[in-house]
Amino acid sequence: MEAASSKLKSEDEWRAILSPEQFRILRQKGTEAPNTGDYNHHDASGVYGCAACGTPLYKSSTKFSSGCGWPAFFDAIPGAVSRHEDRSMFMTRIEITCTACGGHLGHVFKGEGFDTPTDERHCVNSVSLNFKEE
């Protein structure tokens, strides 16, 4: 039940919980600079969760090296990530958010030709994630 109530937090409550950089990315839909995130080249076995609410989002077995400058995953844990049309930046992209709290994760791209089971790249900000080893 906590997850459902997470979306009801006020911006002031989120600001108190998150670091300024986490707030900028997770709540204001910002982006971290490429090749700066802690999880871009991270390859330990475990689960990546939402940095805002802790909900498990991605298994390390779905992470791959895309060379894009951000952590890349070819699939999310079922139901954990929601997709929304994003028409900012003078283009149409698919934004991905944490289903539980609505935190901005990044964007998903399809059909880029990566050798993955889904031919998708979930391009996720490291700041939006936390990691738990298995």
Tokens 């992470």, located at residue: 63
Tokens of 37: 């995130």
Question: Catalytic: 123?
Answer: yes
State the DSSP code for 90. T
Tokens of 102: 């609505």
Q: Name the pairing type of β-strands 72-73 and 120-124.
A: antiparallel
d(CA 1, CA 73): 27
Could you tell me if 124 and 105 are in contact, meaning their C-beta atoms sit under 8 angstroms apart?
yes
Q: Which residues are CB-contacts of 115 (< 8 A; sequence separation ≥ 6)?
A: none
Catalytic residue among 50, 53, 98, 123: 123
Q: Catalytic site residues?
A: 123
